[in-house]
Amino acid sequence: MDNLALQCRCGQVSGRAIKVTPAAATRVVCYCRDCQRFANWLDAAEQTLDSWGGTDIFQLPPARLQIHQGHEHIRCLRLSEKGLYRWYAGCCKTPIGNSLKPSVPLIGLISSFVSDSQAELKTGPVCARVNLGGATAQIPSSLISAAPSRSYLLRLLGKMASWKLRGLGRPHPFFAPRGEPISPPQIIES
């Protein structure tokens, strides 16, 4: 197992993901319009979205994400009252990740926050491409067939159940022990 170095564009927020292996988490590319909207709202589309509008996300349990510096710069937004918590570095608007409520043991770490030169080797290949209907251009069929989304949800749910049973939902880097977000979410309705 290895660690993955994390840092925002300006260097004010940094940390690491610990015990990283391709089998220990899930790497996906999401083409949903909400991920695109988040990147565009932050003026970070160029650094975050691929040629087809996809966001590269490494999904891991909260206990494996550590923020060492810059907690005061972490901000949160939600694209609706009940939407995902979307975390970013307020200092330079680098997308950090996505999460559900604090009781759900899952963080989607966005690749633009990963500063590790060996990230691809440590996280492994993309295992699924999801929400293909939101793609901004035709995704090559070779990419889709190399990362089919058919069994992805079952694999992810199995990992999340395992993480919950093993206590990897805590500590959560973005929620205080009583469950409130470390930064009050700004609601961005469309």
Residue pLDDT, tens place only, 133-179: 999 999 999 999 988 888 899 999 999 999 999 999 999 999 999 99
Instruction: Say what the pLDDT of residue 111 is.
Output: 97
Instruction: Say what the pLDDT of residue 189 is.
Output: 78
d(CA 10, CA 123): 23
Instruction: Say what the pLDDT of residue 1 is.
Output: 66
**CA-derived radius of gyration, the chain:** 15
The three-state (H, E, C) secondary structure of 94-155, written as one string: EEEEEECCCCCCCEEEEHHHECCCCHHHHHCCCCEEECHHHCCCCCCHHHHHHCCCCCHHHH
Instruction: Say what the pLDDT of residue 41 is.
Output: 97
Residue 190 has pLDDT above 70, yes or no: no
Task: Using a pLDDT cut of 90, give the percent of the chain over it.
Answer: 93
Task: Using a pLDDT cut of 70, give the percent of the chain over it.
Answer: 99
The mean per-residue pLDDT over the stretch 105-117 comes to 97
The mean per-residue pLDDT over the stretch 124-131 comes to 95
| Structural domain for 6, as ranges | 2-187
Q: How many CB atoms lie within 10 A of CB 116?
A: 18
pLDDT, tens digit (0-9, with 9 covering 90-100), for 74-89? 999 999 999 999 999 9
What is the CATH classification number for the domain harbouring 173? 2.170.150.70
Number of independent structural domains in the chain:
1
Helix (H) or strand (E) segment spanning residue 155? helix 152-165
pLDDT, tens digit (0-9, with 9 covering 90-100), for 41-68? 999 999 999 999 999 999 999 999 999 9
The mean per-residue pLDDT over the stretch 84-98 comes to 98
Instruction: Say what the pLDDT of residue 150 is.
Output: 84
Instruction: Say what the pLDDT of residue 149 is.
Output: 84
